[in-house]
Structure 1
């Protein structure tokens, strides 16, 4: 297990999008909302509408499948955000009327017996992680918000302290001016995040991110030993991931998606809700 940049409150969470599916697949719970594991990483900038993601061991879903079907941004942050400024928790004018909030830590695992097991810093023998003696041992400088605190590299960022965090259950007006935060915490997300695609685009979170199940193999393939599900009413069985010859073949193929929501092209994103950057985001401002 490797410690990476992660939430100070939640600890390490592993990305499991490419793990193997269970041997059987039930259709109960298809369409239930789910929050992808990647969103617990404060460095994660969000999904791209040109790509699909299949999280195959989701404990949020009865089917164990959380499908991200060509979605842009973060489910937990509908309007996105610009990258927040790094700050000094001991006092920093950069934040103005904002809080200087811890975002995450950098403490990779190491081998105390191997003096070269840390790319940065030195191995903490008691905790078996790469610790720091100064900011030079951290992945960024103090101007980026990295500080060495009690032997651990910590990232501090400006968060809109008076406005709080965005909430996917709230309206755009209620989320306006608020930060993207690691779900379940007030820890700010370190990356710039695109706003979600238009509500009528079939590419926003409601229409493109939910629990699903594998309903058929990829075109041209056979998988006689897999217990494929049948899609419930209101869903159709469509190929989401073709088998291109590498990766786990057990997560290729067809999945239950909401009727009429098959991805066409990036232009289908429509008018972006919130932050738009032509170099990072699809759609229109």
Structure 2
């Protein structure tokens, strides 16, 4: 396992107490917008339209299920972005605004588990080596911080407002051109390239493909499960298979979920014209 220090994540988890959350069988809140937890990772490059994701412990949904039904990109970054330039604060070169984006430290119990041969046993993580250097014990473009933890710094030149704040995209606004993808609720830049969302009329954009849902049935071909209290889909939603049971993972999250009527996934070609960044090697749809 690795330890990734994600800004903003603790704030999300503290919003709602566990005791106040209803069980997954309740259908109230189906269709409410939700922001997948993966988007609080500054290295997360976004979802792929060829895949689905079922977040089964969402603190944002009454149903506890945040469904990502064949969606491309990040909900919080409608137009996507090219990967921002990295920098080293110890030797920033031409970069005038070099800021921390993320930290990385593999877990360990002894020196032999670390590439650097140096386990901080009190902290339980691998120290990366010489502070302030580009180091082979860190991922590409990362440097070793003074605390022995790998750090990724991003050059914000050209990505800030006159008051010094980051120009972050906002899914509630239409003026996102030229702005960066940021970790939700912060001004921390996302370090990865991100595909733009699929066309607004494709049924694969955030509004039509990412929202609170609930499990309404077992996977096709599976016997009924009398021990699971399935929900009934509200008006405007249909019960559709999202994840077949292929014998991997938790069988209790396989099967059918409530999705917006007419939003069934029909293939990559359904993405349509991509809104924003398009790269044929990474993104589905058309430029």
Task: Tell whether 2:126 aligns with 1:130.
Answer: yes
Structure 1 contact 76–168 (Cα < 8 Å) conserved = yes
Closer, same or farther: CA 261–246 of 1 in aligned 2, 3 Å:
same
Number of the residue aligned with 2:180: 179
Distance 1:276 1:268 in 2: 15
Number of the residue aligned with 1:7: 6
Distance 1:51 1:109 in 2: 29
Closer, same or farther: CA 24–67 of 1 in aligned 2, 3 Å:
closer
Number of the residue aligned with 2:19: none
Among 141, 146, 171, the alignment partner of 1:168 is 171
Task: Tell whether 2:107 aligns with 1:109.
Answer: yes
> Across the two proteins, how many residue pairs are aligned to each other?
269
Structure 2 contact 8–40 (Cα < 8 Å) conserved = no
Runs (4 or more) in structure 1 with deviation over 6 Å come to 11-14
Among 227, 250, 253, the alignment partner of 1:251 is 253
Structure 1 contact 109–130 (Cα < 8 Å) conserved = yes
Question: With structure 2 as the length reference, what TM-score do the two structures score?
Answer: 0.87
- 1:28-177 equivalences under 5 Å are 28-90=28-90, 92-95=92-95, 99-111=97-109, 114-120=110-116, 122-134=118-130, 135=133, 136=135, 138-140=137-139, 144-159=141-156, 160-162=159-161, 164-171=167-174, 174-177=175-178
Closer, same or farther: CA 61–24 of 1 in aligned 2, 3 Å:
closer
Structure 1: 5+ residue stretches without partners: 15-21
Moved more, 87-96 or 264-273: 87-96
For each residue in 1:25-83, what CA deviation from the matched residue of structure 2 results, as whole angstroms up to 9, or x when unmatched? Answer: 11000001111111111111110001111011111100000000000000111110111
Among 234, 240, 243, the alignment partner of 2:242 is 240
Structure 2 contact 23–63 (Cα < 8 Å) conserved = no
Number of the residue aligned with 2:266: 264
Task: Tell whether 2:223 aligns with 1:226.
Answer: no
Question: With structure 1 as the length reference, what TM-score do the two structures score?
Answer: 0.87
Distance 1:283 1:24 in 2: 34
SS in 2 for 1:116: helix
Structure 2 contact 80–193 (Cα < 8 Å) conserved = yes
For each residue in 1:104-146, what CA deviation from the matched residue of structure 2 results, as whole angstroms up to 9, or x when unmatched? Answer: 10122221xx2212234622233222223323254235xx242
Distance 1:138 1:179 in 2: 29
Over the aligned positions, Cα root-mean-square deviation in angstroms equals 2.3
For each residue in 1:164-184, what CA deviation from the matched residue of structure 2 results, as whole angstroms up to 9, or x when unmatched? Answer: 11111111xx11111111112
Number of the residue aligned with 1:210: 211
Structure 2 contact 41–183 (Cα < 8 Å) conserved = yes
Query: How far off is 1:23 after superposition?
Result: 7.0
SS in 1 for 2:220: coil
